[in-house]
Amino acid sequence: MPHDPTPRWWSARLWGVHALGTFVVVATVLLGWWQWDVSEGHKADKSDSLAHATPVPLSDIMGNNDAFPGAETGRPAVLQGTWVPSGTVYVSGHQGGYWVATPLAIGTSATAPAMYVVRGWVAEPKDAPAAPTGAAKLVGWVQPPEDGGLTDDDTRDDVLPELAISDAMNHVSQDLYSGYAVVADREPGWPAADAATNDGTAGLRAAQVNSMPEASFTTGLRNLLYALEWWVFGLFALYVWWRYVRDVTHPKIADEGADEAAQEHAVPSGS
């Protein structure tokens, strides 16, 4: 009786195995990505909810002599004080144009320590409206100072390469807070919609926030673990697929492996 030739991996008898293996591996990868995306969605939703929490006074987040509290990044704060229009600067490299940032002296004195407030952005500094004056109350997302290592090549002008506090100090005569704030959008149903008075945003386009609050590690953790489970199962399916095809296309290797296993479990004679 003729002996059946050993099949190759592309042989027709293995097409069904390849189809099943491909389906299982692709399915586990896609299901894993789906769970990963759900996990990231939970984190994004949590971050957004933290960014739109009820604003608190700036003093609840930091004082003028405090190092910037990294855990409070992106938190909405109520800033109240007096504009210092002479300290207005234009920060290049943002949204294809320039941020317009003006210091706000926090408290009742115009000479009190100030926090720079990004009021919005313009395509060119010459397009910016006049800086606001007088008392103001606004809601802003607190941000750590930018620290990209860029150098201000001309300290005599009012253009900065980044909003670094060390560079901004050259444009004011008072102390500065160790961070800055971005004026929050006025959104219906959020307290920021009614909290702003003379916030300086007129004539400017809304600035994007660099850093939003970070969700805790446990946010979306269950879906992340589901994703890892799917991917581990996919790797196992890939191994089973490879092992089966190898054993079918290389029966000698499979037989040798079976013989070795039998020898390991053989009972010695005379026992």
Q: What is the pLDDT of residues 100-126, one digit of tens each?
A: 999 999 998 999 999 999 999 999 999
Q: What is the DSSP string of the chain?
A: -PPPPPPPTTSGGGHHHHHHHHHHHHHHHHHHHHHHHHHHHHHHHHHHHHHTSPPEEGGGT--TTSPP-GGGTT-EEEEEEEE-GGG-EEEEEETTEEEEEEEEEESS-TTS-EEEEEEEEESSGGGPPPPP-SEEEEEEEEEPPP-S----S-TTSSEESS--HHHHGGG-SS-EEEEEEEEPP--TTSTHHHH-BS-S-TTSBPPPPS-PPPPPTTTTHHHHHHHHHHHHHHHHHHHHHHHHHHHHH-HHHHHHHHHHHHHHHPPPTT-
Average confidence score pLDDT of the chain: 87
Give the per-residue pLDDT at 155: 79
Question: What is the band of 266 on the pLDDT scale with cuts at 50, 70, 90?
Answer: low
Domain boundaries of the chain, sorted by first residue: 12-39+219-265, 74-195
Between 261 and 209, whose confidence is greater? 209
Give the per-residue pLDDT at 154: 83
163 token code pair: 């909003």
Give the per-residue pLDDT at 1: 45
Report the sign of the C-alpha dihedral through residues 102, 108, 111, 112, in that order: negative
121 token code pair: 């952005």
Between 184 and 10, whose confidence is greater? 184
30-34, 35-39, 176-180, 240-244: the lowest-pLDDT one: 240-244
Q: What is the pLDDT of residues 157-176, one digit of tens each?
A: 999 999 999 999 999 999 99
- Using CB atoms within 10 Å of the CB of residue 137, give its burial: 0 to 12 exposed, 13 to 18 middle, 19+ buried: middle
81 token code pair: 């004080």
Indicate if the pLDDT at residue 83 is higher than 90: yes
b (16+ CB within 10 A) / e for 20-55: ebeebbeebeebbeebbebbbebbeebbeebbbeeb
Give the per-residue pLDDT at 261: 52
Give the per-residue pLDDT at 194: 65
Indicate if the pLDDT at residue 232 is higher than 80: yes
Give the per-residue pLDDT at 219: 86
b (16+ CB within 10 A) / e for 115-131: bbbbbbbbeebeebeeb
Residue 250: Cβ within 10 Å count: 13
Nearest-angstrom CA–CA distance, 212 and 143: 9
Q: What predicted TM-score, i.e. pTM, was given to this entire model?
A: 0.73
Give the per-residue pLDDT at 123: 96
Question: What is the band of 271 on the pLDDT scale with cuts at 50, 70, 90?
Answer: very low
Indicate if the pLDDT at residue 235 is higher than 90: yes
Give the per-residue pLDDT at 13: 74
